[in-house]
Amino acid sequence: MATEVTVPTLGESITEATLGEWLKQPGDAVAADEPIASLETDKVSVEVPAPVAGVMGEHAVKPGDTVAVGAMIATIEAGDGAAPAKKEAPAGETKGNADNSDEARTGEGKGPAEQIREREQDAPAGDTPAALSPSVRRAILEHGVDPATIKGTGKDGRITKDDVVAAAAKPAPSTSAPVEAAPVAASAPSGRKEERVRMTRLRQTIAKRLKEAQNTAAILTTFNDCDMTAVVEARAKYKDLFEKKHGVRLGFMGFFVKAACMALKDVPSVNASIEGEEIVYHDYADISVAVSAPGGLVVPVIRDADQMSVAEVEKTIGDFGKRAKDGTLKMEEMKGGTFTISNGGVFGSLMSTPIINPPQSGVLGLHRIEDRAVVVDGQIVIRPMMYLALSYDHRLVDGREAVTFLVALKNAIEDPTRILIDL
């Protein structure tokens, strides 16, 4: 008797998703609650667990297909699963296959995604090392390594994300003797290649929302710079004690989140939003923090950041960053938010004009810290400086308010004591 596998509930207002990939193939043995497929929603990837133990039946949909909540996507048959017998190659194909055996073994000419698919198709059913979790798949695609060359150190020989990172860090093996390249004919093609990859649902949603923001809001950006000397010195002085006590590294984001919360109290319109013909003012600060993930940028929310300490903010951001890379962020963690902070400085950005995250009316862009010559008390000195950028919805926030917000933020960063005494 077959048991149907249906699309689980994905969250409030989410009615459909895209099938990302099958983690189990027909004939594979599956355990109850074992992930058998991954779904891509507008915000995160969700694994579909097996409702019962048995043998994977036929797939009802293909990767890339859109499926509705509650729709059947596969079946699970009763049984333990058995390894399918390998097909013998026809006699006429033996020689041709032998000519390409080296390429088949090494995966030469194939991308990581194709190597992953071939690894699973060629592996016998129930071969646990071939069952790659979504986070491992993303790591393989990100680092561009061949999964066939990785020795798994996880349970039952499973490949872990650390195994992929370690394999990527190893230098490529060199051949014992150089091989002379065959001469290229004059009429041979240039060898340039193109690869077409379907946009993930997350990337499609990002593109759609960014364009909607430009079409709807009157976005304007104003700039300022701040002297990071005081924060850099405080971090250098207390980072070891901070990490020992709180179990998390002391970064710069904790200071900026707290400084932004103070500035939002001074300029409440930057923390407000437009709904129809009404302006909604918030007496709390839910700070959205832009975090880089393998599938694109995600923006989890620090709830009631204005009530948190710097340590609590740093712990929350660290947890978000780790789970964003693993693809385990929950959808409810990315809903809401009254103001956004995006730190392009970690990638080396000097200056940018960030786009607001509707219905929010403001986003703060942070950039890299670099030593610059500035004038202090009539003297030219070298100070670690950072450019700040505030993009805001000019329908709601006036230029005077935007500048006032940045000045308040700048004052708090240049004199962190203000954060402690709420000044």
Residues 273 and 358 in one domain: yes
Q: Strand 45-49's sheet: what is its strand order? A: 45-49, 35-40, 16-22, 66-68
The helix/strand/coil state of 75 is strand
- Domain span including residue 359: 219-421
Report how far residue 321's alpha carbon sits from residue 327's, in angstroms, rounded to the nearest whole number.
10
- 2 near 57, Cβ under 8 Å? yes
The torsion angle over the Cα atoms of residues 289, 292, 293 and 297, rounded to 10 degrees, is 70
Report how far residue 265's alpha carbon sits from residue 305's, in angstroms, rounded to the nearest whole number.
12
Of the residues 130, 149, 169, which one is the last residue of a structural domain? 169
- 125 near 25, Cβ under 8 Å? yes
Report how far residue 213's alpha carbon sits from residue 231's, in angstroms, rounded to the nearest whole number.
33
What CATH number does the domain containing 270 carry? 3.30.559.10
- Mean pLDDT, range 4-28, rounded to an integer: 80
Which pLDDT does position 132 carry in this prediction? 67
Report how far residue 18's alpha carbon sits from residue 315's, in angstroms, rounded to the nearest whole number.
32
Higher pLDDT, 151 or 7: 7
Name, of 41-45, 49-53, 207-211, 336-340, the range with top average pLDDT.
Answer: 336-340
Residues 309 and 230 in one domain: yes
Residue 29 in domain: yes
Please pick, among 225, 246, 319, 394, the residue that the annotation labels catalytic: 394
Which ranges of 175-269 would DSSP assign to H, the alpha helix? 201-216, 229-246, 253-266
Residues 312 and 412 in one domain: yes
Q: What is the mean pLDDT of the chain?
A: 80
Residues 237 and 372 in one domain: yes
Tens digit of each residue's pLDDT (9 = 90 or more) over 204-214: 777 888 888 88
How does DSSP assign 78-140, residue by residue?
SS---PPPPPPPPHHHHHHHHHTHHHHHHTTT--HHHHHHHHHHHSPTT-GGG---HHHHHHH
Residues 109 and 67 in one domain: no
| Alpha-carbon separation of residue 239 from 11, 64, 236, 311, 385 (angstroms) | 39, 46, 6, 11, 20
Spell out the residues 6+ positions from residue 111 whose beta carbon is closer than 8 angstroms to its own: 195
Which pLDDT does position 101 carry in this prediction? 46
Which pLDDT does position 124 carry in this prediction? 44
Confidence of residue 263 (pLDDT cuts 50, 70, 90): very high
- 24 near 130, Cβ under 8 Å? no
Furthest-apart CA atoms within the chain: distance in Å: 88
Confidence of residue 33 (pLDDT cuts 50, 70, 90): confident
Question: Which region among 29-43, 111-125, 214-228, 337-351 has the lowest average model confidence (pLDDT)?
Answer: 111-125
Residues 334 and 273 in one domain: yes
Cis-peptide, bond into residue 359, ω within 30° of zero: yes
Residues 132 and 230 in one domain: no
Residue 192 in domain: no
Of the residues 77, 105, 132, which one is the last residue of a structural domain? 77
pTM value surpassing 0.75: no
Report how far residue 300's alpha carbon sits from residue 307's, in angstroms, rounded to the nearest whole number.
17
Tens digit of each residue's pLDDT (9 = 90 or more) over 82-128: 444 444 444 444 444 444 444 444 444 555 555 555 555 554 444 44
Tens digit of each residue's pLDDT (9 = 90 or more) over 373-398: 999 999 999 999 999 999 999 999 99
- 112 near 86, Cβ under 8 Å? no
Which pLDDT does position 103 carry in this prediction? 44
Residue 88 in domain: no
- Mean pLDDT, range 246-266, rounded to an integer: 93
Residue 394 is a catalytic residue: yes
Residue 185 in domain: no
Residues 298 and 240 in one domain: yes
Does the pLDDT value for residue 416 go beyond 60? yes
Tens digit of each residue's pLDDT (9 = 90 or more) over 208-251: 888 888 888 899 999 999 999 999 999 999 999 999 999 999 99
Report how far residue 10's alpha carbon sits from residue 396's, in angstroms, rounded to the nearest whole number.
34
Residue 201 in domain: no
Does the pLDDT value for residue 141 go beyond 80? no
**5 CB-contact burial (10 Å; exposed 0-12 / middle 13-18 / buried 19+):** buried
Of the residues 14, 42, 77, which one is the last residue of a structural domain? 77
Residue 304 is a catalytic residue: no
What CATH number does the domain containing 51 carry? 2.40.50.100
Residue 237 in domain: yes
Residues 236 and 385 in one domain: yes
Confidence of residue 372 (pLDDT cuts 50, 70, 90): very high
Please pick, among 266, 398, 415, 422, the residue that the annotation labels catalytic: 398
- 336 near 301, Cβ under 8 Å? yes
Does the pLDDT value for residue 181 go beyond 70? no
Residue 160 in domain: yes
Residue 244 in domain: yes
Residues 65 and 143 in one domain: no
Higher pLDDT, 165 or 229: 229
- 216, amino acid identity: T
Residues 13 and 68 in one domain: yes
Torsional sign, CA 376, 380, 382, 387: positive
H or E segment and range at residue 17: strand 16-22
Q: How many domains does the chain have?
A: 3
Report how far residue 337's alpha carbon sits from residue 300's, in angstroms, rounded to the nearest whole number.
8
Which pLDDT does position 373 carry in this prediction? 95
Residues 67 and 117 in one domain: no
Higher pLDDT, 154 or 112: 154
